Amino acid sequence: MCRKQKVCFELGTDPNQWDSRAPLPVPGWFEDELKKFSAAVTAAAAGQVSESIRLLEQVRGSDLRHWYVEHGQLSGMYRTKHFGRPNPTAGDVLCDPLRSPDQHSKEVLLRDGFRCRYCGLGVVPKNVLSAYSAVVGAKTFRATGTNAERHGTVLAFRANVDHVIPWNLGGRTNVENLVTACWACNYGKAGYTLEQIGLEDPREFAPEVDGWDGLSSCA
């Protein structure tokens, strides 16, 4: 466990080896778990609820949760400690009256091919996760609640929309300043600037659009 430790062993101690695109790239096995979860949701959408539950049981939900809680969401904190750059202030910049990106979420997710613009992981919109929970039951798959209560796939794959320039530093809540992010990258980046955690601007790289629709066709 890396919580309250000086370094995160998943991130590593050599900043020269840190990724420049994502706060902490997800492990390769995440893609396998996303495929398993996709199969479970697809079965549920076809009315095969018992089969869907059987498939869901094959997903490494606890491992996904552990990685997110102990590594993913804390990565930005460890990175910013290393770079030691002072917290910028907004000065006289007025914050955008609109803070929540919800009204732009659909457009941003579609533009980005339902993939995190930092690590590239496929993500699933919250309405799809909620719909799946309604079909199989919250006792089987909980999409809301605390980290301990949510199914691990929610922590790993739920789609978020991230302000590249933080809102509290004058970043606009518009499609130009918003990108799709998985929860690990969204919470890892937190309110830090790209410079504070040593990341390149995700907007400098074209979205990876490959046919993945975030399971929206199943909702």
pTM: 0.95
Cα–Cα distance, 58 to 45 (Å, whole number)? 18
Instruction: Provide the 8-state DSSP code for 106.
Output: H
pLDDT in tens, 17-30: 999 999 999 999 99
pLDDT in tens, 91-144: 777 899 999 999 999 999 999 999 999 999 999 999 999 999 999 999 999 999
Pairing label, strands 160-163, 178-181: antiparallel
pLDDT in tens, 174-218: 999 999 999 999 999 999 999 999 999 999 999 999 999 999 999
Cα–Cα distance, 30 to 32 (Å, whole number)? 5
Domain boundaries, the chain: 15-87+95-218
- In a 3-state reduction of DSSP, which class is residue 43? helix
